[in-house]
Amino acid sequence: MGSIEPLSGWLLDRIVVLDEAKPGFAGFMLRTSAERRQVVAAFLAAVDPADDMAEEAAHFLMGCRHHAILQLAFEHVPVGFRAALVRCGAKVHDRDFYIRLWALLTRGPQHIVTAIRHSAKLNPERLAIITGLPADLSDHRISAKIKDKAQADDIVLAVDLLVRRGLDRAAIVEALRQSTKLADTIKRWSLRIAFPRGPISASEHYRPVNNGVELAATAKRYRNCSRRYFTSLLEADHAFGEFQHEEQKVLISFDRSQGFWLVDGVYGYRNGDVPAGVSEAAYAFAARHGVITRRATDRGDKAMEALRRLSRHYMDWDV
């Protein structure tokens, strides 16, 4: 005897009515194949047999071929409808799901029809993912790798942002088709976005960090957490630039969270101490370009400075 799959909701209500007219129908539905269950669900989603036809309907659903059942329920059985029902598994979905699936395969846009036909599994969320994607992103090589509707919405918004910032949409979509992890592909492409112009332009001794690729290289070179500021740089709330004085390079951090640019700090390798002369030259350089300095604390307390250096990576604290 085959395993018994549970039934509930609207389909169970319909099955009870049919079983009263033809005893044994409920048991048949509990033990039938997943495909037969989905075919019957599609039929009953579209057809509500009259009371005096219940016995005949139950007999028909128990004995007829799947295609014949679908033909009786729908005015037209689109190519791929039965195969789509097979990919719905054993779980029965809401009535609207079956009507919508049929309608999309019958008269939906071609990119949606193609995506449905290539989808390995189908359920209401997968259908929402497919129908919520623009034509180019609904390619099954992309949609099949999207885990849920929330991620689908994020991908649509992120790709639109990349395009608004000057990147090529067709190239991004092709990269997503070939990727194994969509989020990683979006991340790699986002690094190519040019940051908004910072407070100081490039010069002989100063090089602003212009995009995510340069930011990643800077974070690696200085071994610091500057890469965490990526979105702040995209939103023009922060900026970085490398300043050179007497053969020594330091990283100047600029902040605009208060509505105007100011120097947030001057940093060396691993945020280590910067020689006083180099630090003063960096602050003076910024001042000559109209950027004020944030000097909110007295750095004369060497004990406090030691604590600040030791506790700098507060994001890693496990408290």
Average pLDDT value for residue range 172-184? 96
- pLDDT band for position 50 (cuts 50, 70, 90): confident
Using one digit for the tens of pLDDT, what is the confidence trace for 78-104? 999 999 999 999 999 999 999 999 999
Residue 183: the pLDDT is: 95
pLDDT at residue 6 is higher than 80: no
Question: Which residues, in sequence order, are bridge partners of residue 132?
Answer: none
pLDDT of residue 318: 45
What pLDDT does residue 71 have? 96
Contacts of 98 (CB under 8 A, 6+ apart): 41, 42, 45, 46
Over residues 159-184, the mean pLDDT reads 97
What is the distance between the alpha carbons of residues 42 and 85, in angstroms, rounded to a whole number?
8
Contacts of 224 (CB under 8 A, 6+ apart): 251, 267, 270, 271
pLDDT per position as a tens digit, 211-252: 999 999 999 999 999 999 999 999 999 999 999 999 999 999
Q: Tell me the three state secondary structure of residue 91.
A: coil
**pLDDT tens-digit profile of 25-47?**
999 999 999 999 999 999 999 99
Find out whether 57 and 25 touch, Cβ atoms under 8 Å.
no
The residue extents of the domains of the chain are 1-107, 120-190, 206-316
The whole-model pTM stands at 0.81
The predicted pLDDT at position 319 comes to 40
Q: Chain-centre distance of CA 310, in angstroms? A: 37
pLDDT at residue 273, rounded to an integer: 87
Average pLDDT of 113-137? Answer: 97
Q: What is the DSSP letter of 53?
A: G
